[in-house]
Structure 1
Amino acid sequence: MSAASRGQALVIEHLAAGYGKVQVLWDVNLSVAPGEFVAVIGANGAGKTTTLRAVSGVVRPSAGRILLGGVDITRASPSRIVASGLGHVPEGRELFALMTVRENLELGAAMRAEARAQVSQTLRQVYTLFPRLEERAGQLAGTLSGGEQQMVAVGRALMGRPSVLVVDEPSLGLSPRMTQTVFEALRAVHAEGVTVVLVEQNVGLSLRLADRAYVLENGQVVREGDSAALLADPAVRAAYLAL
């Protein structure tokens, strides 16, 4: 492990990945310190979702390595990665539509070797974050609104008590009001000490929320830095903020 990798919550080094013969990522490098909030921005097809899928083990890297809390998880199974402290809120939510809200949430704790009382305590914390989910606890997830489903997806990831939470396009298909609710929840989660990595189509909102950001283009990191500096960067504003 390099000196720069020590003490980092998440490190991606020289990552290459794709789908079959189609390569999407080329030599991606990024690092996230414990307790940091980092955004990954870029145009559609830049490789943002593939990066998060590689981190969570859904996509197998063809080169490079990924460290979670200093542990190499590059070839680990998704279940082991979750058990190691990663929470993943996928694009499109991927809920079990014919299961209740509570059942979907409890699935998020399946990798934790904890007593039922501890799981119930975490569930209570999720309900505190999203009171509407407690009201809908017995309702089938597939009958919820898009915003409510996104709350379930975030809550399910939090049920694993992750040290690092990666979130993919949480505002997709949501109203501005519901987007604000979800982002306020992410802010609250981060305030509790959880490290957050956010991929989000709303570049302005994500840069205002994050500490730092990386810009992906064509599967490579082309810029990185303080979010405020990137928000003021004329090139970033012209490319992603239509300013």
Structure 2
Amino acid sequence: MLHNPLRLLSSVRFALLALSTTIFGGLQAQGVYTCIDSKGRRLTSDRPIVECLDREQHKLGNSGVVRQVVPPSYTAEERAKLEAQRRLEDEQRARVQEERRRERALLIRYPNQAVHDKERADALGQIDEVIGAVNKREQALMVQRKEIDVEMEFYQGDVSKAPNWLKRKIEDNEKQMIVQKRFLDEQAQEKQRINARFDEELAKLRQLWAAAGGRAPAR
């Protein structure tokens, strides 16, 4: 009488083992989906997992190796928002990389303030040379104007009485004086732009030099 319940229990265990083996074998045949949901739980299923539609799911093969990565499922609007966010992140990364590239180039070009000061002085010196040439031309025009005024004394300073060649000479002198003054103003503005650019660079370089700790910039 004792053997019958034991045989029955063994039979039940064997049937359950066979059933679980069949089920597991079926899952292996079609693959197993696994993911970690928003609550941090690892979920497993024989089909895509609803709780993980907003994140990646891994489809495992018979050996447990990932056979496929199933991307998140989104609506058209959600995908558009996601793509816009990714583009924004890509642009931000590109800006950061470009800024770092410029910083490295700046350090290579100006390893110390003496080099930067010299380049500023050279740039301003070129402008000063141009201004000097313009000033000489302006002085020449002023001398020419005095000569014209002497000739105009014969006509009592009345331009209407002067011959056409003298009128043209007066007109040309006045136009040239206006051009030279405008050019001097432009050069003065250019000097301001140069100083502003070097001032901005110097402020940035001081930060970079301090961060580099006196080390030579990597090429």
* TM-score of the aligned structures, taking structure 2 as reference length: 0.18
Greater relative CO (CA pairs within 8 A, separation 6+): 1
Greater share of strand: 1
Greater share of helix: 2
Larger Rg: 2
